[in-house]
Amino acid sequence: MGVAPAGLDRPNSGHHHLLIDTDLPPLNEPIPNDFNHLHFGAGQTEAQVTLKPGPHTLQLLLGDKDHIPHSPPVMSPRIRVIASDATTSPQVAAASVKKRRHAQARSRNYHSSAAYRKY
């Protein structure tokens, strides 16, 4: 699988969607576009997302040029993170999330260089 901007009809490619605090959407229709479903339609492979302090879930779901998941869907495991406020060390939290994400990505053979830096 490759990464391509939304709207670009390239075989075996798509763009990332970050699902925040939500279950998977229907896999046979366009992924919703709201705070819980962020589209990286320019083909971004990294993002910095600000979350309210507290526990959250994150999951990546690849979508095709029309924002529809592939069949079978290409997605990451759903991970749990705890966002801290600015008074705690974001670098420690970010390192923890990044390390876990990479471990899960390898286990599912999911190719993405997306990084979540600030929690």
The residues of the shown chain that bind Cu ion, judged by CB under 5 A, are 39, 63, 67
Q: CB of 83: closest distance to Cu ion in angstroms?
A: 24
Residues whose CB falls within 8 Å of the CB of residue 72, separated by 6 or more in sequence, listed in order: none
DSSP 34-58: BTTEEE-TT--S-B-----SEEEEE
Q: Decide whether 25 or 63 has the Cβ nearer to Cu ion.
A: 63
Q: Decide whether 39 or 101 has the Cβ nearer to Cu ion.
A: 39
Q: CB of 52: closest distance to Cu ion in angstroms?
A: 23
Q: CB of 37: closest distance to Cu ion in angstroms?
A: 8
Q: CB of 43: closest distance to Cu ion in angstroms?
A: 11
Q: Decide whether 63 or 83 has the Cβ nearer to Cu ion.
A: 63
Paired residues of 110 in beta bridges: none
Taking the CA atoms of 24, 25, 30 and 34 in sequence, report the sign of the dihedral they define.
negative
Q: Decide whether 76 or 93 has the Cβ nearer to Cu ion.
A: 76
Helix H or strand E encompassing 55: strand 54-63
Structure tokens belonging to residue 65: 């040029």
